[in-house]
Structure 1
Amino acid sequence: MHQAVITGTGVYTPEHVITNAELVAAFNAYADLFNAENAEAIAAGEIEAKPHSSVEFILKASGIEQRYVMDKEGVLDPTRMYPRLRQRSDDEPGIMAEIALDACHKALAQAGRKGEEIDLVICAASNMERAYPAVAIEIQKLLGAGGFAFDMNVACSSATFGIQAAADMIRTGSVRRALVVNPEITSGHLEWRDRDCHFIFGDVATATLIERREDAPHGFLIRSTRCATEFSNNIRNNNGFLRRTRPDGVADRRDMQFMQEGRKVFKEVMPMVAQHILGHLADAEVKPADLHRLWLHQANKTMNDFVGKKVLGRDPEPGEQPNILQDYANTSSAGSIIAFSKYSDDFKPGEIGLICSFGAGYSVGSVVLEKI
């Protein structure tokens, strides 16, 4: 049985930034247009007026200050309120593969590897831009990698589920080196016209390189992984390939974008995540006091503070539970990997950390790492 080691990570960050102030200005302009166009129906009580958003509301609700996006103009257009991305020919790299490739090259460079040395690519993300061919196979081709590739979707937990799948295949000898890639263009599934969630998401791509330990004298040993799921409709998106077969399926419907019951999610997911981590640590024979750092899913600062306190039994010290959501917003599966990539260079051999992601499904995945 082989051991699996993370030897490199890469992060692609889009060039466009939307601050909370810019987002609020666009949303409020949209709300004013909506209310003016529907004044009679609002006055008759047939529909509700759109309330304004505010910078203070966003910061208090999430801790998010800005987000990176693939397109800024379309999102901030009050008459549009979603990204404007150009149509690509089938002979061009898809946009998800393109940003994934950037993250992959950075992860490979960190480890001193080349694309042709990879024999497994997993594209693990909360959305895929098409049904087939698999985005992972396109990335495999662009890298010049061998072996095989496949797509995986476990929403915000996709990265940790992908790491477990890759690590298991490395342990059993099926593959030697794997890239788990998370291209998250979440601006495409966000309902920017909904005050309750219009600030949540941002775009990014991450990549994690995993190798056999005998090929990797340095890195982070994957000591243990654990994944769990429990069905819930409280985070849902009804968009899919059967959309046109149903009445009003192609209409501009709210349920065709990201939806969540935020309070229910917090009440149900937070205990699930804390118990999952504590159970995983116990079975891996790691005491919470021995954790040097938690790299958590980057959805909401209050959520992370809750999980950190439950796991450690106290408020985390600065640096024990780093957040990147203030800059990146919620980048779905990529968030915990961004945190790991940016806040792991200071680890000394023997120090232990834990990556955890959680979200729709419900789903939760955790990875116990030891610096070697």
Structure 2
Amino acid sequence: MFSAAITGTGVFTPEHTITNDELVVAFNAHADLFNAENADAIAAGTVTAKPHSSSEFILAASGIERRYVLDKSGVLDPTRMCPNLPSRNDDEPSLMAEMAVDAALQAMAQAGRGADDIDAVICAASNHERAYPAIAVEIQDMLEINGFAFDMNVACSSATFGIQTACDMIKSGSIKSALVVCPEICSAHLEWRDRDCHFIFGDVATAVLVERDEDLQGPHFKVKSTRLATQFSNNIRNNNGFLRRTRDQMEDRRDMQFMQNGRKVFKEVLPLVSKHIADHMSDEDVQASELKRMWLHQANKTMNDYIGKKVLGRVPEEGEQPNILQDYANTSSAGSIIAFSQYSADLESGDVGLICSFGAGYSVGSVLVERA
């Protein structure tokens, strides 16, 4: 049996940012319009008035300060409150493929690999732009990679599930390398008109190159072990399933966009993830004192702080549990990979770290790595 290693990463970041202050101005203007249009129903008690948001509320609730998005004007239009992502012709590349290719080329360059060195492409993301043909096959074609490709969706855990899938194929000998790409257009499935969640998500794409750990010359991370778990819950969901282009293309149902029961998610996910990581480390005989870094899913700062403290048995020190949430917001499956990409180069040979993602499903995936 072979072993696997992560040899390169890449991050595509959109050019547009939306700060909390900008988002609040747009949301509050939208709330005022809604309340004015529904004044009689609100007075009669048949419709609930929309409260204002604030930058202080967003920061306290999430730790987010800004987010990157593919389209800024549509989100900040109080009469629209969703991105304007025009449909593309069939002979044009999809948005997801375009983003993923950018990140993939960065990962390939970092590893010093070309298309001929890659056997498979896995596109792992929360929402896919279309049902078929697979976005992964389109990415494979654009990169001129031989072999095969397929899509997978495990919501916010898609990256770690994709990494284990790639590692398992490498260990079995069926392939020597795979690109795991996570293009996340989260702005398109977020309900920007809901105060409880209008600040959560941003857009981004990541790529991880996983290769057979054999005669590797450059810096890399040996994959020591992977572990996945799922437990059904309806507390985080999106009944739409695919990207929603414009408001008038779909029935205006609240459950067709991102929804969550935040209190139940906190109560149920935190112990699930903490125990998953602790059990994984115990089974691999990795002590908390040996863990140099944790790259956690970037959903909420309070959640990450709780998990870090439970796993380490103390408050994480500066740099042990890096957050990118304040700059990128929640980017679903891509979050832990952004953190890994930006905060891993300083680790020394033999240092052990853990990548962990968790989310809807519920799902949780962890990857123990060692710097080499």
Q: Which range, TM-score by smaller chain? A: over 0.9
Partner of 1:9: 9
Matches within 5 A, 1:129-144: 129-144=129-144
Give the counterpart letter for 2:227 in structure 1: R
Partner of 2:327: 327
Partner of 1:62: 62
Matches within 5 A, 1:331-342: 331-342=331-342
Partner of 2:346: 346
- Matched positions, count: 366
Q: Secondary structure at the match of 1:340?
A: helix
- Alpha-carbon contact 1:116-1:143 (below 8 Å) kept: no
- Alpha-carbon contact 1:357-1:366 (below 8 Å) kept: yes
CA–CA distance in 1 between the matches of 2:38 and 2:79?
14
CA–CA distance in 2 between the matches of 1:301 and 1:240?
27
CA–CA distance in 2 between the matches of 1:260 and 1:216?
43
Partner of 2:236: 235
Q: Return the offset for 1:285.
A: 1.1
Q: Return the offset for 1:240.
A: 4.1
CA–CA distance in 1 between the matches of 2:283 and 2:147?
33
CA–CA distance in 2 between the matches of 1:287 and 1:142?
43
- Alpha-carbon contact 1:352-1:369 (below 8 Å) kept: yes
CA–CA distance in 2 between the matches of 1:64 and 1:264?
21
Q: Structure 2 stretches of 5 or more lacking a match?
A: none
Give the counterpart letter for 2:220 in structure 1: G
Q: Secondary structure at the match of 1:59?
A: helix
Partner of 1:155: 155
Partner of 2:253: 253
- Alpha-carbon contact 1:224-1:368 (below 8 Å) kept: yes
CA–CA distance in 1 between the matches of 2:73 and 2:132?
29
Q: Return the offset for 1:215.
A: 4.3
Q: Return the offset for 1:146.
A: 1.0
Residue deviations 1:138-167 (CA, integer Å, cap 9, x gap): 000011111110000000000000000000
CA–CA distance in 2 between the matches of 1:93 and 1:119?
21
Partner of 2:304: 304
- Alpha-carbon contact 2:127-2:241 (below 8 Å) kept: no
CA–CA distance in 1 between the matches of 2:251 and 2:88?
24
Moved more, 167-176 or 232-241: 232-241
Partner of 1:226: 227
Partner of 1:271: 271
Q: Return the offset for 1:117.
A: 1.8
Residue deviations 1:211-270 (CA, integer Å, cap 9, x gap): 1111423300000000000000000111148x9xxxxx9410000000000010000000
Give the counterpart letter for 1:67 in structure 2: R
CA–CA distance in 1 between the matches of 2:359 and 2:272?
11
Matches within 5 A, 1:57-206: 57-206=57-206
Q: Secondary structure at the match of 1:142?
A: helix
Give the counterpart letter for 1:340 in structure 2: F
- Alpha-carbon contact 2:223-2:367 (below 8 Å) kept: yes
- Alpha-carbon contact 1:117-1:146 (below 8 Å) kept: no
Give the counterpart letter for 1:222 in structure 2: V
Give the counterpart letter for 1:227 in structure 2: L
Q: Secondary structure at the match of 2:49?
A: coil
Give the counterpart letter for 1:238 in structure 2: N
Residue deviations 1:315-352 (CA, integer Å, cap 9, x gap): 00000000000000000000000000000000111000
Partner of 1:216: 216
CA–CA distance in 2 between the matches of 1:61 and 1:116?
46
**Residue 11 (structure 2) pairs with residue 19 (structure 1):** no
Taking structure 1 as reference, are residues 240 and 10 closer, same or farther at Cα in structure 2, changes over 3 Å only?
A: closer
Q: Secondary structure at the match of 2:214?
A: helix
Residue deviations 1:274-296 (CA, integer Å, cap 9, x gap): 00000000111111110000000
CA–CA distance in 1 between the matches of 2:274 and 2:158?
18
Q: Return the offset for 1:86.
A: 2.1
TM-score for both structures, normalised by structure 2: 0.97
Q: Secondary structure at the match of 2:270?
A: helix
TM-score for both structures, normalised by structure 1: 0.97
CA–CA distance in 2 between the matches of 1:25 and 1:339?
29
Q: Structure 1 stretches of 5 or more lacking a match?
A: 244-248
CA–CA distance in 1 between the matches of 2:111 and 2:347?
16
Give the counterpart letter for 2:283 in structure 1: D
Residue deviations 1:182-209 (CA, integer Å, cap 9, x gap): 0000000000000000000000000000
